[in-house]
Amino acid sequence: MIRINLLPKEEKAPRPAAITFKAGDLVVPAVLLVTTALVIGGMGLSQYSRATSLARSIAEVDEQSRALAPQIERVNRLAQERAELDLRLGIIAKLEQGRAQSVRLMDDLARCVPDHLWLTGATQDSPGSLSVEGVTFSNLVVSDFISRLERSSLFANVELDFAERGMVNDREVVKFRVTCSVTPDEPAH
């Protein structure tokens, strides 16, 4: 008996062919690999030299800082002493101004006092306010005193707080209190 195979032949997958490299095929990847290695190496060398340069610069600046430290300390100490001196000079100037103002204030107040009026007290409540107490024999003398204070360039807003009858050494007198503002910025006359 003869056998006939009517089934198609099994197709076999072709075998992959062996990869073969030629010398020319490896040149491009090798060049790329070498170029990449050179670029990375160059960048690394550049960064290393930059870091070394910065470290050298930092060391030089530290050395200069140590060399200048005594001078910097002296400058700081002198600046502090100058600030303290300026503060003291400011306080002295303020005291000088206050001293001159007090003398001017008392001088001007004395010039404003008319005859037959005696001051019993003068109080400066604040740098800009003055309260004056006194006695006299007449309300007219108190009025004259207030008028003189108002004409003075050193006093402003002069007001009579009170004027009342009283007794001093068995004599009838008028006791009074006047308040006013002191204007120290006015020029001396």
pTM of the model: 0.49
Length of the chain: 189
How distant, in Å, are the alpha carbons of 64, 104, 107 from that of 125?
59, 17, 18
For residue 11, give both structure tokens. 């197709």
DSSP class of 184: T
Q: Answer yes or no: do 89 and 159 share one domain.
A: no
* Segment 41-64, tens digit of pLDDT: 999 999 999 999 999 999 999 999
| CATH at residue 130 | 3.30.70.2830
* Segment 55-114, tens digit of pLDDT: 999 999 999 989 988 999 999 999 999 999 999 999 888 877 767 677 888 888 899 999
The domain boundary residue, chosen from 68, 93, 112: 112
Residue 67 lies in a domain: yes
